[in-house]
Structure 1
Amino acid sequence: MFGHGLGGEVLPPIIIENKQASLSISITPSVFDENPEKYISLRLFDSNTDAIIEHVTFEFELKKDGKQIFKDIFHDELGNLNIKVFTDNSNNITIEGIKEPILGGWMKSNSNPLILRGPVFTSGGLYEYTIKILSINSDSNIINEEIILDGGISLAQTNYFNVNDYLNEEKTLQVISYFDTINNFNFESNTIEFSMPFDWNQNLEQLSVVHQEIRVPNTFGDFLSTRYDSTVNGILLPDESVTIDDYSFEDRTIHLVVNQELIKQIQNEAIRTSDTTMNFQLRPSETVKFPLELVTPDLRYEVFLSWEPEIIHTEGEITFFVTFEEIFSDKSKKLVEYDLSIIQKNNEIFSKHLTGNVNSQTPNSHKITFSNEQSGTANFVLSNIGGNSLSKGNFILVIQSPSDIQNDSSIIPEWIKNNAAWWADGSIDDNSFVQGIQFLIKEGILQIPYTTQGSSSTSNQIPEWIKNNAVWWSEGTIDDDSFIQGIQFLIKEGILQITS
């Protein structure tokens, strides 16, 4: 049995005594935490009119991991049953209330709520329910036919995992599941993997969305990227399913949202991997996604940020582009004052009060140069937009020093080395190879002195030893520096023209 997830759901309507009846069920709050108090709400209503169906008696069973938590009969005169739940470590579950005289369903008294005490919500994850409708419309109107409704609702649970970055420093990642329990977590080669029970053969019409959050500390520089690639059962998710939220100063939240339509689209292919699990993978993308975006807490502005060069490095000028768009307005062009600051390790390393464009296709640009001492992660903070304290936003930056760029071989995308090998054996032409090298130089990944570039050579013949170098570099036989010497030779001779 697999459920439909989330902290609540509305089941499709069924016919009960000539009424199109739907059941709404929810747990609030829908997050598993130290608070022992929660509410279970059941509401039976006419799906055509949204009117509550009165005098409903429910037989209600709740299970977790296949084990029964409780099973009893409950009644509400208005058909809107609310059960107050106090979870504790006792051995038994007790019910406080009065009993309806005909079917013996537990119900609230005039002055006190209906209370359930005991080991009910002892962990996060998926809780399965089975509900039988025993009476409607009047206490004595007992339904002869068996009407059974079942499904599952979830309590979101935060999971903590300690991993080591490429410097062997320990970082704590959080995975918050809004559907079911997280299993098989693994972090290797800058890639997060985990799985979750999921029935790919279930009725997907009752499923709304599967939502996971991965929270990455802002000190985890090599996992902070402008874009992430994520897969489910090996199937690449579209960009709109993976979003970045940098609102917190302490960490970045990456949302993985797989909606019903997407699950239907990938269902047949996903089942080939597993029909009982949803296997997630998340890693920083090798390509850049701009602009980053956020919405201010007061819902006044949508803010977009990009920069160039795409890799932020020290001792070189970085141009940031900021665009403000009003969310609810006539979208007319105007000017607005705002504060821009860059915070690193609780210290302000840049601060300026500015005036910029709003609702304009021309972004506001700011040129900033970082010193070597400022390498690492930092917060790019926009605040007091238009003089409003709640019009603010934060983006996380990763600032690299030249030594970081040269020493971190993983910064060179794998496709570049593949290009080098294919170019050497003639599978791709010179132009395709040059585009890859231009990318590395533009982003500061390969440091090539621009001043040494020669004029266009009368002979575009690339020496054979250069292609040999490309093969050896792609295989890891020679290091980056040896390969760079060959590229410098081509530039000096004017064989390879690198545009700025």
Structure 2
Amino acid sequence: IISYYDEISNFKYDSNSREISFSMPFEWSISNINQTSEVHQEIVVPKNFGDLLVSGYDMYINHVKISQDVVNIDDFFSEERVVHFIIYQRELLNVFQYNQNQDEMNFIIKPDRDYTHLSSVTENGQFRVLVSWEPENLKSNSNAKIIFDITDIFLKNRPVATEYEFSMTQNNKIIYEQSGISSDSKEEHNIAEFMMPEGISGIAYLNFKNLDNNNLAKSTIPIIIDRITNEISIPDWIRNNALWWSEEQIDDNTFIQGIEYLIKNNIIVIPQTQQESSTLQEIPPWIRNNAAWWAAGQIDDTTFVQGLEYLIQKGIIRV
């Protein structure tokens, strides 16, 4: 979270509801609102954190729903999405009439739909891909239905008929692929239906490439197959290690070696995760942020473990 108004506190993320909450001081008075042209908050979402790469967000301030006009999604960074929430005076006045006696803003930000509906922009900035699937929890050895639309950003995100290549992959292996011409209808979506092979679980990727025969018109969206939460077990004392590492009191190698030892000896129990053939050399900054938030109880075990699974896939943690 980046705040351009005041320091935030009480940050929490609920992985089940995909709901972000935090607080910020604010004087709820007409005189202060009249002097406040806007309150600007940003959320930075790593593009490998699929749960929050949704197509839209709802914001509530002190339990009052804010207009969708305040939300602006910027997907034009290669590694992260930046979501801007710019709350103007008219929105502040609307909240004020319901919450005149409070001295802070209590924010809740969550996906704007009850079902998962993700979006991503192609590397060349021309197309936006919107994706959902059925059933909500995709499982191995069962039917899967991927529903997607390809829209043109320069045509105000209108669906367009364009050539595409689609695939689902895991560990650089193709699970399913198809190609065709996308629908330009707002009512008729593109469908990919197939049987999910046996033994598929964890993070997989929906890949769209060569849109309109342009090799730069490509995008990848991470999703989770066979999402399981009851296999996670992390002793509370490990939070100290995560905190020390997030504060750079211990180095990356010490932290990683400790996590590897704990997983190998079943002190930390996480869903089985396979390593990809492509690896990373450095730990992304968002993993360190997750460790700090988890140590402080601001995110749950499931969200923290998603970071560990990512490090296993990228070959940084070896188990």
Does residue 287 (structure 1) correspond to residue 98 (structure 2)? The answer is: no
Name the SS of the counterpart of 1:373 in structure 2.
coil
> Aligned equivalents of 2:124 and 2:74: distance in 1?
16
- AA aligned opposite 2:38: S
- 2:164–2:209 contact (8 Å) kept in structure 1: yes
Pick aligned residue for 2:209 from 373, 378, 383:
383
TM-score by length of 1: 0.37
Pick aligned residue for 1:212 from 42, 50, 69:
42
| Deviation sequence 1:195-218 (CA, Å, 0-9, x none) | 223333324465134222053684
Query: CA RMSD, aligned part only?
Result: 4.2
> Aligned equivalents of 1:280 and 1:336: distance in 2?
40
- 1:198–1:278 contact (8 Å) kept in structure 2: yes
Does residue 176 (structure 1) correspond to residue 2 (structure 2)? The answer is: yes
- 1:232–1:279 contact (8 Å) kept in structure 2: yes
> Aligned equivalents of 1:269 and 1:382: distance in 2?
45
> Aligned equivalents of 1:250 and 1:343: distance in 2?
19
Q: Counterpart in 2 of 1:265? A: 94
> Aligned equivalents of 1:316 and 1:405: distance in 2?
19
TM-score by length of 2: 0.54
Does residue 193 (structure 1) correspond to residue 18 (structure 2)? The answer is: no
Give the alignment of 1:338-417 within 5 angstroms: 338-344=164-170, 347-350=172-175, 352=177, 354-361=179-186, 362-371=188-197, 373-400=199-226, 404=228
- AA aligned opposite 1:262: E
| Deviation sequence 1:459-478 (CA, Å, 0-9, x none) | xxxxxxxxxxxxxxxxxxxx
> Aligned equivalents of 2:75 and 2:143: distance in 1?
24
Name the SS of the counterpart of 1:386 in structure 2.
helix
Please tell me whether Structure 1 or Structure 2 has the larger radius of gyration of its CA atoms: 1
Closer/same/farther in 2, CA of residues 385 and 196 from structure 1, 3 Å limit: same
Closer/same/farther in 2, CA of residues 186 and 311 from structure 1, 3 Å limit: closer
Q: Counterpart in 2 of 1:278? A: 105
> Aligned equivalents of 2:53 and 2:190: distance in 1?
24
Please report how far the alpha carbon of residue 366 of structure 1 lies from its aligned counterpart in structure 2 after TM superposition: 0.7
> Aligned equivalents of 1:303 and 1:244: distance in 2?
14
| Deviation sequence 1:154-195 (CA, Å, 0-9, x none) | xxxxxxxxxxxxxxxxxxxxx233433222334568554322
Closer/same/farther in 2, CA of residues 396 and 179 from structure 1, 3 Å limit: farther
Alignment identity in percent? Answer: 26
- AA aligned opposite 2:21: E
Name the SS of the counterpart of 2:199 in structure 1.
helix
Give the total of aligned pairs. 226
Please report how far the alpha carbon of residue 351 of structure 1 lies from its aligned counterpart in structure 2 after TM superposition: 5.6
Please report how far the alpha carbon of residue 303 of structure 1 lies from its aligned counterpart in structure 2 after TM superposition: 2.6
> Which runs of no fewer than 5 residues in structure 1 stay unpaired?
1-174, 409-500
> Aligned equivalents of 2:37 and 2:224: distance in 1?
38
> Aligned equivalents of 2:220 and 2:196: distance in 1?
18
- 2:209–2:219 contact (8 Å) kept in structure 1: yes
- AA aligned opposite 2:61: V
Closer/same/farther in 2, CA of residues 313 and 177 from structure 1, 3 Å limit: farther
- AA aligned opposite 2:3: S
Asked which structure has the greater RCO (Cα within 8 Å, sep 6+), the reply is: 2
| Deviation sequence 1:90-148 (CA, Å, 0-9, x none) | xxxxxxxxxxxxxxxxxxxxxxxxxxxxxxxxxxxxxxxxxxxxxxxxxxxxxxxxxxx
- AA aligned opposite 1:231: Y
Q: Counterpart in 2 of 1:232? A: 61
Bigger strand fraction? 1
Name the SS of the counterpart of 2:163 in structure 1.
strand
> Aligned equivalents of 2:60 and 2:198: distance in 1?
36
- AA aligned opposite 2:96: Q
- 2:175–2:197 contact (8 Å) kept in structure 1: no
Please report how far the alpha carbon of residue 297 of structure 1 lies from its aligned counterpart in structure 2 after TM superposition: 4.4
Give the alignment of 1:303-318 within 5 angstroms: 303-318=129-144
Bigger helix fraction? 2
> Aligned equivalents of 1:232 and 1:241: distance in 2?
12
- AA aligned opposite 1:359: D
Please report how far the alpha carbon of residue 386 of structure 1 lies from its aligned counterpart in structure 2 after TM superposition: 0.9
Please report how far the alpha carbon of residue 388 of structure 1 lies from its aligned counterpart in structure 2 after TM superposition: 1.6
- 1:234–1:270 contact (8 Å) kept in structure 2: no
Name the SS of the counterpart of 1:379 in structure 2.
strand
Closer/same/farther in 2, CA of residues 333 and 309 from structure 1, 3 Å limit: closer
- 2:121–2:219 contact (8 Å) kept in structure 1: yes
> Which runs of no fewer than 5 residues in structure 2 stay unpaired?
233-319
Please report how far the alpha carbon of residue 385 of structure 1 lies from its aligned counterpart in structure 2 after TM superposition: 0.6
Please report how far the alpha carbon of residue 354 of structure 1 lies from its aligned counterpart in structure 2 after TM superposition: 1.0
Please report how far the alpha carbon of residue 268 of structure 1 lies from its aligned counterpart in structure 2 after TM superposition: 2.6
